[in-house]
Structure 1
Amino acid sequence: MSETTFAYAQPSALTTGAEGQALQLAAYAENAHISGAACFFRGQLRDSWLTARGLTTLAKVVASRFVSQAAVLRDPIVTAGAGQLRFEAFSSCNGVYARLDLGPTALDGEFVQSGTTNVDFNEPMVNALSRIGRTEPVRLSVGQQEVILERAAGHVTERKVTLPERWVKGLTAAQGYLAQMDEKLRLTRTQAAQLLHALPAGTIKTDMYMLLRGPRVVFAPMGGPSSVLVGGAHRLRLLDGLLPLSQGARVYATPDDQASAIVLDLGGGHEFLLALSAGVNRGFSGEGTQLGAMLDELPAEWLAGANNLFRGNEVFNPTLFGLEHDLAPATVERLCASLSAMGLLGFDLSTNQYFYRRLPFKTDRILRLNPRLKSARTLLDTADDVQLMSLGSGGRTEARVRGTGVWHTVLVGGAEPPRCTCQWYSSHQGERGVCKHVLAAQLRFEAKQAA
C-alpha cells in the first residue's frame, strides 16, 4: 500500500487563554523542508457546542472500521476558503465518507488565505471536544505549518503520521458518486430523530431499502419507486449523536444504487454528510468509475493552469469553465476526471456544485493511483497485445487483448457498455469501472479512429 508521510509540528489541542478556549488544529507540511506558519482561518465558533458535536461524529467515523483487517487512522482533511470550512474523513475501511461543512453563519473570524490540510485528530483532541459546554466560547485556528529540527544550536520538533494514498482514491470515487446522486427522500426533524429506531438490531448482513410508509421511516428487504438501497445500513448508527439535533435530512442515491448519502441540516450554518458505499466490504478507494474519462492524457500545463485558477472551496462549474475557455465538452470531462484523480475536486449535494481542494498538485498521482489505467497503457507498448479484430454493427468493435496466459475478447464502441471475458468483468459487470483490457482496447480503437 502506497503511503505519503506528513509531519506535524505539534498535536492538535484545545488551549485556554485570556479570551477563552481556542481549538488549534495542527496542519501538515508535506515536504520536511517547509517551515513557518501559514494560517488559513482564525476566529470564533458561533455555536461551539454544535460544531464540537459534528467534529466528534467525524472523529467517530474515522475511528470506525467495518472490515476487520482495516487499520485505524485519524487524519481528517480540512479545506478553508470562500467563507467556509469543510472537514472531510473516511472510515478506516474506506467504505464510509463523512463531511462537516461550516458555513459563514457558523464562523466569526478571518480567512487569511485559502487552502487544504490534514488535521491531526488525537485522543486528547477528541476528549476535549466532548467536554465543550453548550455556551462555551471557543476560538478556532486552522493552518499552523511548522517543522522543528533539533541541532546543536537549537532543536526541531515534528510529529509524523502516514496518510495512505487510498484516501485520495477515495475522494475521487466519493465525489464521482455524489455528482451522480438524486434526492430520493426528505425527512422532517421528527423523522430524522427517529431514523435509527427503524433499523434492525445488530449488524445487518443483507442490503436494506430505506423508504417512507406514511409518516414513518422504515427499512425493508424490498423497495419501491422512492426508496433508497442501503448496503450495510447499520453504518448509519455513526449518526446517532447528530440525528436528534438535526432540523431535517435529505437522502440521496445514485441511479444504479452503487452509493447512498444522507445530509443533515444542523442549523446555524452547520451541515453534515454521510455517504455509504454499496456494501460493507466495498471501500470507495477500490472504485474506478471515472477511468474511461482519463483515457486521453491532457497536457500537464492544462491541469496546472486550471489548478492555479481556483482557491479552496471555490465553486468549480465544468460547463461555465468550458464556455469561458472555449473547451469541448469531452475535454472538460477529461479535465474534471484528471483533477478529481488528484483529489482536487469535491461535490456539494446541497448546491449541486463541485468545490475545489488545495491539495498538493501532483500529476503523477493520476497513473499511480489508477493501476488499471497504467496497465492498459503498458499493454499498448507491445503492438500485438491489443488486436482489433472486426467492426460490427452500430459501431461495435471486437478486440483480442492479451491476459496472463490467456487472450480475452473485448467489445467496445457503439451505444452498449463495453464487455470483456476477464474475471474482473465477470465479477463486477462494469459496476466498479472498466478493466484494463477494455481500457487498452478503447485506446487502440480511438487511435485508429484518429489516424
Structure 2
Amino acid sequence: MTDFQYQYNTLSTLTKGNGINSLILAHQTEIEEVNNIPCFFWGNLTDSYITAKCWTTLAKVVRSSFGPIPITLKDPIVSAGTERIRFEGFSSCNGVYARLDMMPEAIDGEFLANGTTNVDFNEPMLNALNAIQKNEKVTLAVGQKDVQVITSKTKAVEKKVTLPTRWIKGLTSVQLYLAEMQFKFELNKIETLQLFQSLPKGNVKGDFYVVKRAGKFMFSALASKDGLRIGGVHRLRLLDGILPVVKKVYVYESENKETCAFVCDFGKQQMLLAFSPDAYRGFSGEGKVLEAITEELPLEYIYGLNALLKSNETFTPSLLSIEHDIDFNTIENLTAGLSSMGLLGYDLTAGNHFYRQLPFKTDRILSMNPRLKNAKKIINNDEVTFIKKEANIIEAYVKGTSVNHKVAIINNIPQCTCNWFTQYKGKRGICKHILAVKMMS
C-alpha cells in the first residue's frame, strides 16, 4: 500500500503579539487551483478556550493507536465553507473518528474561499493551545502559505507528513455507519461526569455497555436489553480533556449495534467521536462502502457536483434532483458514489449529509478499493456463472484460484463459500465474489 508524501511549505503556527494569539494552519493539497488560494478563512474564535480543548482532543485522537499499527496519522483535515469550519481526523489504527463542528456562532470572521485541506498539528502549536486561558482572543487563519516563526523559543522547519490510503478509506466508511445510526441516550453534564467516573481503568478486554440503572448512567460488563455496546471501552478516555466543559452528550448506535458515537455539545460547537466495533478493528477495513458502489456512474457526474457544491454545504439528494432535473434513481446512485469516495460526511444531530471537498484528485480516490478492483476483474474475465436469477433469489458460481465458490443472495441477504465470508460472516463488508454477482445482477 502506497502512502502519500506531502511537503508542507510551512509549519502551523500560533504566535502572540499585542496580547492577541494568531493561529495559522499550514496546508497542502494536490489540487492546483486550491493551492493558489492564500487563505480560506480569517477571523476570531468566539470561545477560544473550548475550541482549544477540542483541538487538543482531536490531536490526541490522531496521535493514538489502539491496534498493532504504529502511530502515523498525525494530521487532521479542515473544511472551511458555508459559514462553518470542520476539523476531522482518525486514530492511526483507524478505529476512532473525531470531528469538531464549529458552527457560525463559534467564529467571527470572513470566508475568503471554501475548501478542504490537511493541516499540520505540530508540538509547539499544541503546547501553545494548552496554554490558552479563558476569554483569550485567538485569531484563526485556514490555508496560509507564507513562512512563519512560531515563537521566539521554537525553530520553524519544513515538515514532511505521510497520509496513508487508510485515511481516505476511513472517511468513505465511517460516514456510512453514521448515516444509519439511531439516537440512544442524552446525558446532561452531571450525568456525563457520573458515567465516566465508572469507566474501567487500563486497557479492558471484552465488551462493555452503557446502561441506565436507578436513574443513573454507568458502564457495565453485563449486557442488557436497552444497553449500548462499546468495544474497546478504554478508547473513551480520549474524551477526558473536554468532559469538564461539556454541556450535553448525545449517544448514538449503529443499526447492527456494532459501532457507536458520542457527540459532545458545547453550545456553539460540537465534538463527535465515533468508535469502530472493537479496538483492533479500523473503519477503513470494514468494507461497508462496497454495498454502495455496485453501480458505476460517469465521472463527469462526480466532477460536475464537485464543481457545484461547496465545502460543508448540506447535501439534499431530493432537492438536487428537482433543481437540476436529474432522475432520482441516478441521484441515489450518485449519493452512494460520492459517499464511497469520502466526498460526503454525515451530521448526526442535524440528520443530513454535508459535502466535503477532499484535497486529492478524484481519480486517485476512485482507485482505492482492492475488492472492487478484483470484482471488476472477475466480471471482465467472465468468471461468473448464474444458476438462478429471480426477484428474491440469486445463485451463482464464481471461479476461484483453486475451486469455484457458490454465491447465494436470498431476500437481499448474501452468502458465499469463500474463506473471507466464512471468517467474517459479512461483518467486514461483502467479499469480491458477492460484489461481482451483485454488479452483474
Structure 1 counterpart of 2:301, which letter?
Answer: W
Look up the SS of the partner of 1:201 in the other structure.
coil
Question: 1-side partners of 2:177 and 2:367: how far apart?
Answer: 21
How far apart are residue 96 of structure 1 and its match? Answer: 0.1
1:71-125 CA-to-partner distances (Å, cap 9, x unmatched) read: 3321011001111111101011110000111111111111111110111011111
Look up the SS of the partner of 1:306 in the other structure.
helix
Aligned 8 A contact 1:40 1:142 in 2: yes
Look up the SS of the partner of 1:250 in the other structure.
strand
How far apart are residue 255 of structure 1 and its match? Answer: 1.3
Which stretch shows the higher mean deviation, 422-431 or 326-335? 326-335
1:108-149 CA-to-partner distances (Å, cap 9, x unmatched) read: 11111111011101111111111111122111111114699x
Aligned 8 A contact 1:342 1:361 in 2: no
Q: Which residue pairs with 1:389 in the alignment?
A: 387
TM-score, structure 1 normalization: 0.91
Aligned 8 A contact 2:28 2:35 in 1: no
Look up the SS of the partner of 1:301 in the other structure.
helix
Q: Which residue pairs with 2:195 in the alignment?
A: 195
1:2-31 CA-to-partner distances (Å, cap 9, x unmatched) read: 222222111111112346110111111326
Which stretch shows the higher mean deviation, 34-43 or 349-358? 34-43
Q: Which residue pairs with 1:48 in the alignment?
A: 48
How far apart are residue 185 of structure 1 and its match? Answer: 0.7
How far apart are residue 35 of structure 1 and its match? Answer: 5.9
Q: Which residue pairs with 1:362 in the alignment?
A: 361
Question: 1-side partners of 2:245 and 2:401: how far apart?
Answer: 55
Structure 1 counterpart of 2:395, which letter?
Answer: E
Question: 2-side partners of 1:335 and 1:341: how far apart?
Answer: 10
Which stretch shows the higher mean deviation, 303-312 or 216-225? 216-225
How far apart are residue 350 of structure 1 and its match? Answer: 1.2
How far apart are residue 420 of structure 1 and its match? Answer: 0.4
Aligned 8 A contact 2:194 2:218 in 1: no
Q: Which residue pairs with 2:257 in the alignment?
A: 257
Look up the SS of the partner of 1:336 in the other structure.
helix
How far apart are residue 199 of structure 1 and its match? Answer: 1.4
Question: 1-side partners of 2:362 and 2:101: how far apart?
Answer: 28
For the pair 1:319 / 2:318, whether they are aligned, the reply is yes
Question: 1-side partners of 2:105 and 2:394: how far apart?
Answer: 55
Question: 1-side partners of 2:174 and 2:365: how far apart?
Answer: 16
Structure 1 counterpart of 2:435, which letter?
Answer: L
Which stretch shows the higher mean deviation, 183-192 or 196-205? 196-205
Which stretch shows the higher mean deviation, 366-375 or 318-327? 318-327
Q: Which residue pairs with 1:337 in the alignment?
A: 336
Q: 1:39 to 1:288 in 2, by over 3 A?
A: same
Alignment RMSD (CA, Å): 2.1
Quote the sequence identity (%).
48
How far apart are residue 341 of structure 1 and its match? Answer: 2.5
Aligned 8 A contact 2:42 2:111 in 1: yes
Q: 1:420 to 1:19 in 2, by over 3 A?
A: same
Give runs of aligned pairs for residues 43-82 of structure 1, distance below 5 A: 43-82=43-82
Give runs of aligned pairs for residues 42-191 of structure 1, distance below 5 A: 42-145=42-145, 159-191=159-191
Aligned 8 A contact 1:115 1:312 in 2: yes
Question: 2-side partners of 1:270 and 1:443: how far apart?
Answer: 41
Give runs of aligned pairs for residues 238-253 of structure 1, distance below 5 A: 238-253=238-253
How far apart are residue 32 of structure 1 and its match? Answer: 8.4
Q: Which residue pairs with 1:154 in the alignment?
A: none
Structure 2 gaps of 5+ residues are: 149-156
How far apart are residue 319 of structure 1 and its match? Answer: 2.6
Q: Which residue pairs with 1:350 in the alignment?
A: 349
Which stretch shows the higher mean deviation, 122-131 or 220-229? 220-229
TM-score, structure 2 normalization: 0.93
Aligned 8 A contact 1:258 1:431 in 2: no
Of 401, 405, 413, the residue aligned with 1:404 is 401
Q: 1:37 to 1:322 in 2, by over 3 A?
A: closer
Aligned 8 A contact 2:77 2:118 in 1: yes
